[in-house]
Chain A
């Protein structure tokens, strides 16, 4: 039965990548709004720190996460004590790792898209009686959504392929935390070339679909 494809890594990957993308979307758009529209001390530093996951080796990110949310990390201890939630060697940990590596992709696209929005439009909305949250929801976001969506799809593709940080935080437990990229590694190590090939084709296919769709959304004419 070795040659039959085990679909569990695929479902797990989709679940982890989907949730990670949701987290990265919310955090990324909020941070992008701050960086694009607010002036505050330390803005450039915040921008630099948020870009780090793009350039640091995933193992370094994994290490940070272990320090932060591990059993002895201050956040990890708090989570375990109050929510009874442990992130190490669980699929929730994989979500956190994937969200962290894909955050900069949402952030960069969303920031660029929000900066493109003419501030006169936001100002006019304010004089028309809108509070700040409504200015964002009714003017800034609808005008920037193409860029934000394209960034979010890239983030999803990146989250699907996440390997290093996931391995360090969530481990490689078949059926529990083993995502596609980890399954490929296992298959190659075990000399199971057929399985490896099938997984590779599957992963590549899904990513190509996502990238092509993102490109199409960005090219569609705006107003």
Chain B
């Protein structure tokens, strides 16, 4: 999947300003944005999803231009066909698992679901091993189950691209490994391109095809995630945290 991002955004809060100025392009199916907290990774995801508007730049996913500053193109989030899973999964606490999945299928609720959609919900509950939990509320689910619901809810709408913000940070170490494998399987099953944020080198090792290294609102390096990338260790100019990658 071709992803091209070239954005500038400045935000001010409580007297401090943060400026993001990043550009990268990739053909990878699994792109990882890697870097320390506060380097602008989450902001980049929000810009991609259309939940924040860049001050300037251009965003292209596949053959669709989602944002173009000079041409005044800005497709709203609801029409971008991009799935977004925030860090805490953002499951709707007042809705049970099935209702969370249905949520995005009937955006003009209360005008209900068709027969096709009903079948689709059943199918996704099964794929994500949630059938027995379909009437549970999010508060009664474990971390791994919550993540599966969030993934199913995003994927059921058949998005072009899936954005994941720190998908494993809320899980314990044992579960983390299991969920990394599950995510890989899901990505292959749906052939869905991923953009994933992390500051955990193990996520990079397990998932990345391309790594975009962030630091203080800038892209410091774009690396193909092959064993070769170890060679960049110690090279002049690379940020110290980027070297832990390899």
Contact = CB atoms under 8 A, between A and B. Distances in A.
Question: Which of B50, B104, B137: most chain A CB closer than 10 A?
Answer: B104
B88 A128 contact: no
A57 to B, nearest CB: 37
B109 interface: yes
Given A127-B84, A127-B154, A143-B93, 13 more contacts: A121-B90, A124-B84, A124-B85, A124-B90, A125-B92, A125-B103, A127-B77, A127-B80, A130-B107, A131-B78, A143-B94, A222-B93, A223-B139
A116 B94 CA distance: 14
B109 A134 contact: yes
Interface in A22-81: none
Nearest first, the 9 A-B pairs at minimum CB distance are A128-B104, A129-B107, A223-B93, A127-B84, A126-B77, A120-B90, A124-B90, A120-B86, A129-B78
A193 B101 CA distance: 64
Interface string A112-151: 0000001011011111111100100011001100000000
B236 to A, nearest CB: 40
A130 B157 CA distance: 12
A128 B154 CA distance: 7
Contacts of A118: 88, 90
Interface residues of B, number: 31
Contacts, number: 68
Interface string B184-214: 0000000000000000000000000000000
Contact of A123 (B80, B90, B94, B104): B90
B148 to A, nearest CB: 15
Interface of A: 118, 120-121, 123-131, 134, 138-139, 142-143, 222-223
Given A142-B94, A143-B93, A143-B94, A127 B137 contact: no
B111 to A, nearest CB: 11
Contacts of B94: 142-143, 223
A115 to B, nearest CB: 16
Given A118-B90, A123-B90, A223 B77 contact: no
B108 interface: yes
Contacts of B93: 143, 222-223
